[in-house]
Every structure is written in C-alpha cells, then in structure tokens.
Homo-oligomer: A and B are copies of this chain.
C-alpha cells in the first residue's frame, strides 16, 4: 500500500532504472547524440509514420546532414529497431520493478495496468505508439529479434493473470484477457489526453481494473 503514497502513482523510481540501464549500455542516454536522435525519431515516426519520415527529416530534427546519420546507424531501419528495442528494455524493467513492489496478485495487476498506461501516455509514449503502429515496417529478421524481447515483457503479464485465474479472481482465459488489454491500453494513445483534464491516469486504471471485475478484493 505504501507504493500508492507516491503522488504520481508510480511505485518505483523510473529514473533510477533508466540510469542503471544506461550504465549497462542497454538503452542510450537521452542526452547523448544517439539518445536525442532516437527520441526525435520516435516522435517523427509516430507523427508521420516510418515510411513518410525521410532520413533528411531525421537529420534535420537533430541538426545534422542526412549523410551524417549513417555514421551512427548503418541503415534507416536500424534506427526504427533501436527505438523499439530500447523502449521494450526500459518498460520491461519498469514493469518488473512495479510488479515486484506489489504484494497481492491483484495489486500486481493494478501496477502493471498503471505502468503500461504510463509508458503509453508518458515519456515513452511516442516510442510505444511506434511499437504498435510501425511493426510491419521492420524486416522479418528484426521482427524476430524484437519479438524475443516482447516475450519477456508479456510473460510478466501472463504470470500475474494466471495467478489471478488460479486464485479464482479471474474467470476468463489469461491469454485472451492479456490480448484484450493490450488492444484496449494501446488504443488509449489515440484518444487519451490526460493533460486536458478529465480522467487521470489513476482514474483510468480504476476503470480498467473495474472492467475486469477485480475492483473489490
């Protein structure tokens, strides 16, 4: 319950996780040249789509010439892959921590929903949207690579949902529920605007958890 004392409803320090991932060279420092490019790339890819974003757009966004991009990345697709890979790495770590901080399965699920909503609608939102909508722009080889990382991420969800099923709190199939949740939560990028007031992220989390019939213990 102590985790809920955090005003942002974040049970873990996202920044500390980021720092350790940077130290392990698993994600780029947002202040580095590479990190800035990936952030701008995520924004452009989300706004215009991968195909409509040219290497000249990407270069201009960080103030260099288009040819200079290829000093940092071998191909344009490698940029897309890097955006996806680093985003999954970060969010997997954040979710793992959020989940471990919770005690009951019910609280763990709530933490996962809240964290996923944060990742979709917060800082990493642009990259998450890219992950959802630009999947087909990856080569099959890259898709396979990224898929491996996603499996780790998805296993977190399935563990918790399966536990809830075993405890009798969930009637439906965990796989089906997770997939419905994936769609429902991903789709929030297209309509949910917390900055415009109205529904807070915590309120949205409540609605999702309630929709699953898990609000009352």
A residues adjacent to B (C-beta < 8 A):
48-49, 51-52, 133, 136-137, 171-173, 176-177, 179-188, 190-192, 199, 204, 207-208, 210-213
Contacts and interface: CB of A to CB of B under 8 A. Distances in A.
Report, nearest first, the 5 A-B pairs whose CB atoms are least far apart: A183-B187, A51-B51, A180-B184, A183-B183, A183-B184
B51 A52 contact: yes
B188 A185 contact: no
A216 to B, nearest CB: 12
Chain A interface, DSSP helix/strand/loop, else mixed: helix
A182 B189 CA distance: 12
Contact of A133 (B133, B185, B192, B211): B133
Given A52-B137, A172-B211, A183-B186, 20 more contacts: A48-B136, A51-B51, A51-B52, A171-B210, A172-B210, A173-B199, A173-B207, A176-B199, A176-B204, A179-B188, A180-B187, A180-B207, A180-B211, A182-B187, A183-B184, A183-B188, A184-B187, A186-B187, A211-B213, A213-B213
Instruction: Work out how many copies of this chain go into the complex.
Output: 2
Contacts of A212: 211
A66 B207 CA distance: 50
Contacts of A173: 199, 207
29 contacts: A49-B51, A49-B136, A49-B137, A51-B51, A51-B52, A52-B137, A133-B136, A172-B210, A172-B211, A173-B199, A173-B207, A176-B204, A176-B207, A177-B211, A179-B191, A179-B192, A180-B207, A180-B208, A181-B184, A182-B187, A183-B183, A183-B184, A183-B187, A183-B188, A183-B190, A184-B184, A184-B187, A211-B211, A213-B213
